[in-house]
Amino acid sequence: MAFVLHRDESLEKAFRRIADEQLTRAANALTVDDLSRDARVHEARKRFKESRALMRLYRPALGDAFAEQNRWYRDAGRALAPYRDASATVSAVDAIDDEAPNALRTLVRERRDALYADSSALEETVNELLMRFAAERLRVRDLALRDVEDAVEAGFASAISAGRKAMNEAFETGAAPAFHEWRKRVKDQWYQVRLFARVWPKMMTVHDAALHELSDLLGEHHDLTVVGELDAGMATSISARQTAIAAKARPVAGLIYASRPRDRARETMALWRTWRG
């Protein structure tokens, strides 16, 4: 488990180790021979998303440096986004079973296959990313972090608060972009909870599972939006499915956001301090 805190390290040391390891894992994913191009892109983008969640957790400690760090990982993910989006669209269409017209299934597959067929373009994108990794390693090593323990507590509380705010916006408006924004915030919190997985495994596993379930539901909601944009004739069916998904998400979210953000963050940090002994 690379994306996890170790008992024998400070939070500052953990930040530098994890940020560096994430770059190594992303580079390995992009260059490994035994993965498909689709899997390589998917794994690398996951590493970038985890790294952004790490940066958001440490945001108060990073100060003005946060914006540059967040932008670096955002742009790295965006460089690979067209490839991942093409594959995700195929998965979204497949996920609605027999309701998707055959012509739509054919269209999204042809778009994906055409994009990946240009292997030189993908390799050029990968090489450009890899050339930027060395500079980012040096930047991570030299970043100044301030009041780290208090900052991580504040960063975790902020992530939960942002998720709760995004949830309220999604339920109040029912708008697809609001649900998609909520999903992003859920993923931030999910990745951050995984960092603390070892402080009390039984408890953190419950939090992890709930956030995973909510992320999957919101991911399905977004996939249906993508399908609806491709085929307007499915609007009624998709709307009904998304309403059902939102109903399933509500009780899970109720458990996740039952505690006040600051209280949950204080509890997590107290567990971390106890775990370190």
Residue 6: inside a domain: no
pLDDT higher than 70, residue 27? yes
Residue 188: inside a domain: yes
Query: What pLDDT is stored for residue 216 in this prediction?
Result: 95
CA-based nearest residue to 88, from 51, 41, 48? 41
Query: What pLDDT is stored for residue 98 in this prediction?
Result: 66
What span, in angstroms and rounded, lies between the C-alpha atoms of 117 and 76? 21
- pLDDT tens string 128-158: 999 999 999 999 999 999 999 999 999 999 9
Enter the tokens of residue 206: 């419950």
Q: Residue 75 maps to which CATH number?
A: 1.40.20.10
- pLDDT tens string 49-71: 999 999 999 999 999 999 999 99
Query: What pLDDT is stored for residue 206 in this prediction?
Result: 96
Query: What pLDDT is stored for residue 276 in this prediction?
Result: 95
When divided into structural domains, the chain yields a total of 1
Residue 2: inside a domain: no
Q: Indicate the average pLDDT of the chain.
A: 93
Give helix 201-230 / helix 235-256 axis angle, nearest 10°: 160
Enter the tokens of residue 52: 């952004």
What span, in angstroms and rounded, lies between the C-alpha atoms of 120 and 37? 12
What span, in angstroms and rounded, lies between the C-alpha atoms of 130 and 225? 33
Residue 72: inside a domain: yes
- Model pTM score: 0.93
- pLDDT tens string 67-88: 999 999 999 999 999 988 888 8
Band (pLDDT 50/70/90 cuts) for residue 35 is confident
Band (pLDDT 50/70/90 cuts) for residue 202 is very high
Q: Provide the 8-state DSSP code for 99.
A: G
Query: What pLDDT is stored for residue 136 in this prediction?
Result: 94
231 against 204, higher pLDDT: 204
Query: What pLDDT is stored for residue 93 in this prediction?
Result: 83
Average pLDDT over residues 186-198: 98
Residue 222: inside a domain: yes
pLDDT higher than 70, residue 42? yes
Percent of the chain exceeding pLDDT 70 equals 98
Query: What pLDDT is stored for residue 176 in this prediction?
Result: 96
| Helical residues (DSSP H) of the chain, grouped into ranges | 11-31, 37-57, 59-62, 65-95, 102-117, 119-142, 148-173, 176-195, 201-230, 235-256, 261-276
Band (pLDDT 50/70/90 cuts) for residue 1 is low
Q: How many CB atoms lie within 10 A of CB 3?
A: 18
Q: Which domain holds residue 236?
A: 11-276
Residue 33: inside a domain: yes
What span, in angstroms and rounded, lies between the C-alpha atoms of 7 and 273? 9
- pLDDT tens string 81-126: 998 888 888 888 887 766 677 888 888 899 899 988 888 888 999 9
Query: What pLDDT is stored for residue 13 in this prediction?
Result: 97
Residue 3: inside a domain: no
Residue 47: inside a domain: yes
Integer angstrom CA distances of residue 156 from 163, 193, 212, 266: 11, 9, 17, 9
Query: What pLDDT is stored for residue 18 in this prediction?
Result: 97
